[in-house]
Amino acid sequence: MVPLSYYLVLSAILFACGVMGFLLKRNIITIFMSIELMLNAVNLSFVAFASQWHALSGQIFVFFVMVVAAAEAAVGLAIIISVYRTRDTLNVDRVNLLKL
């Protein structure tokens, strides 16, 4: 028997780690991974809430989040590749101009 709040706290911790990664990491790929971490944290809370309310739609939502994450990864990584091609860096602190 695990209280729901444990799962939520775990989810919150993971989410906070993701935000922290976004705030502190310089590498754009790592930042992107932090986003994935946040999505995973949210997924966990979806599944936890699904368990609490006995509604499978919570788990269905996770699938949609995954689909979005997959699409996002495909496009995002393509963007990262083209950014790297044009700027020769993956450091977001150096990628602060829209126009070269």
Which tokens belong to 47? Answer: 């599944």
User: Which residue from 45, 49, 42, 34 is spatially nearest to 66, judged by alpha carbons?
Assistant: 42
- Binding to another protein by residue 24, rule CB under 8 A? yes
- Binding to another protein by residue 95, rule CB under 8 A? yes
CB 95 within 8 A of CB 84: no
Q: For residue 18, what are the CA distances in angstroms to 6, 14, 36, 89? A: 18, 6, 8, 22
- Binding to another protein by residue 87, rule CB under 8 A? no
Q: How far is the CB of 27 from another protein (least distance, A)?
A: 5
Q: How far is the CB of 46 from another protein (least distance, A)?
A: 9
Q: How far is the CB of 33 from another protein (least distance, A)?
A: 5
Site for another protein in 41-70 (CB under 8 A): 43-44, 47-48, 50-52, 54, 56-57, 59-60, 62-64, 66-70
